[in-house]
Amino acid sequence: MKGTLAAGEEVLIRGFGKFCVREKS
pLDDT digits (tens, 9 = 90+) for 1-25: 667 778 889 999 999 889 888 887 7
Its pTM surpasses 0.85: no
Distance CA 7, CA 11 (A): 6
State the distance between the two ends of the chain, measured CA to CA, in whole angstroms.
36
Distance CA 20, CA 13 (A): 10
Strand residues in 1-25 grouped as ranges (E):
none
Distance CA 5, CA 10 (A): 9
Distance CA 7, CA 14 (A): 11
pLDDT of 8 reads 87
